[in-house]
Amino acid sequence: MIYRTMKRLFFFLIMLIGYNSGHTQELGSFTDKRDGQVYKTVTYSIQLSQDSIINMTWMAENLNYKMKSSFCYDDYESNCEIMGRLYNWPAAMHACPEGWHLPN
């Protein structure tokens, strides 16, 4: 269910960006203060009207913050380095760095 909701949101954003010629994309990075890991980010600035611009910054990589109830695919630590960590829902709600949240 969460995957389907995120997929719909992502599809909506891509459609919005694709049909709106007034948009920009900026690449950046974010350092997680908890463990020093650096993540790539992308910021979309979308002009909805002449007076209305929205900015959305998304992590462009999967989170890899180690915490209770998180794990690596197939229990191989090397998979976390490549793909990030997997979280159960309660852990995911608390895994986001300060100032970040799961999309809703």
Max Cα separation, the chain?
51
Confidence of residue 1 (pLDDT cuts 50, 70, 90): low
The full DSSP string for 86-102 is EE-HHHHHHHSPTT---
Tell me: pLDDT of 97 over 80: yes
* 45-74 pLDDT tens trace: 988 888 888 899 999 999 999 999 999 999
Q: Which residue in this structure is represented by tokens 């269910």?
A: 1
And the tokens for 81? 């380095």
And the tokens for 64? 């890899």
The one-letter code for the residue type at 38 is V
| Percent over 90 (pLDDT), the chain | 62
The pTM is what?
Answer: 0.71
- Asked whether 42 and 26 are in contact (CB, 8 A), the reply is yes
Mean pLDDT computed over 35-41: 96
